[in-house]
Amino acid sequence: MDTVGLGFCFEDLPLGRQFKTVGRTVTEADIVGFIDKIGMTEVLFTNLDFLRNVAGFEGRLAPGSMVFCFAEGLLAQATMQGTGLAFLGMQLDIKGPTFAGDTIHVECEVIEARRSESRPGRGLVRTRNRVVKADGTVVMEYTPLRMLKARSEVRT
């Protein structure tokens, strides 16, 4: 019997492939829970008067680290179950703010795909991941390099 929900193997991600995740709405409870759990008690995230009157933002601001974690969660659910083997590094740029009430999704494009030279049966894939709000605003872009399981140990 086939198992549904498994992630992409190396062979499923050729150079240029594009896909996107489902969306997820960031809630105030998400933000408060995240900052409490990791101890990020900076006034930018805990004091709405400071946020409005000093920083100039309306609404509860989400930490960029939380937006990244949510993006990775959306991707892990849909693309890496049972096939993702290692996260090897990335560059990350925050392009704009994310607030409670914003719905985000991740748009991905494969920008590098090659077999691992040192680990048979594995491939290295780098994607350009854009975290996008429902209105089309890009709030984050990052380029993770991941090691993925391949279906075969030889080039196909």
pTM over 0.85: yes
Taking residues 117-131, what's their average pLDDT? 95
Q: How confident is the model at residue 77 (pLDDT cuts 50, 70, 90)?
A: confident
Q: Angle at Cα 137 formed by Cα 23 and Cα 27, nearest 5°?
A: 45
Do residues 146 and 6 touch, judged by C-beta distance below 8 A? no
Provide CATH code, domain 10-149. 3.10.129.10
Mean pLDDT value across the chain = 94
Domain residue extents for the chain:
10-149
Res 156 pLDDT > 80:
no
List Cβ neighbours of 49 (8 Å cut-off, separation of 6 or more): none
Please state, in angstroms and rounded to a whole number, the distance separating the CA atoms of residues 93 and 44: 19
